[in-house]
Amino acid sequence: MSPTRAATTIVVCFAALALLTLLSLGLGAEALTPGQLLTALAHPFGGGQAERIVIGLRLPRTVVALVAGAALGMAGAVMQGVTRNPLADPGLLGVNAGASLAVVTAIGAFGIATASGYVWFAFGGAAVAAAVVYAIGVLGPGGATPVRLAIAGAALTATLTSIVTLVLLAHLDVFQQYRFWQVGSVSGRSLHDVGVIAPFAAVGAALALIGGRMLDVLALGDDAARGLGLNVPVARAICAVAVVLLAGSATSIAGPVVFVGLVATHAARPIARHDHRWLIGLAAVIGAAALVASDLIGRFVAPPGELEAGVVIALVGAPVMIALVRRRRAVMSA
C-alpha cells in the first residue's frame, strides 16, 4: 500500500470513529436531532430530556465502548506480536478466565452485584492469571517462548473455566448475576467506572507503544533480536504487562468481549505492515470503532429490547475474521 493510500485510510478510520461516536450519542430508543444532540453536549447540565438521555445514558456507554474497544485492539496487536501468532488474542494469557473467576468470587463470596463492584475483582483476576501464565512460561530453558506462553495460557484458561462452571452449576443465584457480565456489555456502566480503569489502560497503552519497536525486532527471531542488542526477556515482560493492563481494564468494565483484538489487528495489518507502533495505534482506532458500532447495532436488532455489544461483535466478528484470515495479506507474520 502506497504512503498516500495508507494516510487516506487512516484519516477515513478516524472519521468513521468520530461519526460512529456521534451516532451512538444520538440514536437509540428515542432518536435525537443533530440540534438536540449539539445542545445537550454544549449544555450538559441543562436538565432537559435530551441532556438526560445523552449525558446520563448514552455518553457513559459510548465512552466505555471507546475505551474498552481501543484497549482490546491494542492488546490484540501486542499479543500477536509477542507470540508471533496471527490468531492470538488477549485471552491467550488467561485474562478472560482469570477475570471470570474473580467476578464469580465477587458475586458468590461477597455479594457484589454492580458493575462498579466487579471492576476491581475482574481486573485483579485478569492480572493474577496473566502473571501466573508468564511465571509458568519463564520456567525452563529459553525463557518465556511464544509456544510456552500459548500452552501455559491454554492450560490455565481450561482449568479456571472448569472451576467457574462448577461454581455456577452449584449456585444458580450466582449464575443469574454473572451472566449479565459474561455476555459482554457496555451499558449499565458509569463514567466513574471508566475513571477507575482509565489510569491502568493509559499505562498499558504507553507500554504497548514503547514495546512496538521491540516487537519489530522480536519479529526477526530471538537469536537475531539478541544479536541486535535487545534484552528478549525484558521486552516480552514489558509487552506482557501491557497486555495485562489493557485487556484486564477492558474485560473488567465490559466483560470478556471476543474478536475485537483479533479483527482490529488483522484489519490494521495491511495498512501498518511490519511497523508495530503503527499497527498498535491503528488497531486501537479500529477496535474502538468496532465496539461502538456493535453497541449501536444492538440497539435496533431486537426491539423493544437491546442486544448486548458482546453478542453483536461475536456474530459479526466470526465471519469477518474468517474473511480476513483467508486474505493472504491478513495472515502475514507479525
Q: Give CA separation, 125 vs 78, 95, 153, 281, in Å.
A: 20, 8, 14, 26
pTM above 0.85, yes or no: yes
Q: Give CA separation, 225 vs 134, 179, 228, 229, 242, in Å.
A: 20, 44, 5, 7, 20
Specify the pLDDT at position 115. Answer: 67
Distance from C-alpha of 286 to C-alpha of 241, rounded to nearest angstrom: 22
Map residue 141 onto helix, strand or coil: coil
First to last CA, the chain: 17
Specify the pLDDT at position 143. Answer: 65
Question: Residue 117 class from Cβ within 10 Å (0-12 exposed, 13-18 middle, 19+ buried)?
Answer: middle
Joined together, the cell numbers standing for residue 29 give: 430508543
Q: CA geometry: angle at 116 spanning 208 and 103, to 5°?
A: 80
Distance from C-alpha of 268 to C-alpha of 214, rounded to nearest angstrom: 19
Phi and psi, residue 171, nearest 5°: -135, 90
Residues 6+ positions from 334 with CB-CB distance below 8 Å: 80, 81, 84, 85, 86, 215, 219, 276
Distance from C-alpha of 203 to C-alpha of 197, rounded to nearest angstrom: 10
Specify the pLDDT at position 144. Answer: 64
Domains recognised in the chain with CATH numbers: 3-331 (1.10.3470.10)
One-letter-per-residue 3-state SS of 227-268 = HCCCCHHHHHHHHHHHHHHHHHHHHHHHCCCCCHHHHHHHHH
Is-contact 253 67, C-beta < 8 A? yes
Which residue's entry shows cell 463514567?
191
Distance from C-alpha of 96 to C-alpha of 256, rounded to nearest angstrom: 6
Distance from C-alpha of 128 to C-alpha of 131, rounded to nearest angstrom: 5
Q: Cα torsion for 75, 78, 79, 82, to the nearest 10°?
A: -160
pLDDT tens string, the chain, 334 residues long: the values are 566 777 788 889 999 999 999 999 988 878 888 888 888 888 877 778 888 888 888 999 999 999 999 999 999 999 888 887 777 777 767 888 898 899 888 888 888 877 677 778 888 888 888 888 878 877 766 666 777 877 888 889 899 999 999 888 888 878 877 877 777 888 878 888 888 889 999 999 999 999 999 999 988 888 888 888 888 888 988 988 898 889 888 888 888 888 898 889 988 988 887 889 899 999 999 999 999 999 999 988 877 778 888 888 888 777 876 776 666 454 444 4
Joined together, the cell numbers standing for residue 46 give: 441543562
- In the DSSP assignment, the letter for residue 273 is T
Instruction: Determine which helix (DSSP H) or strand (DSSP E) holds 63, and give its type and residue range.
Output: helix 59-83
Distance from C-alpha of 289 to C-alpha of 264, rounded to nearest angstrom: 9
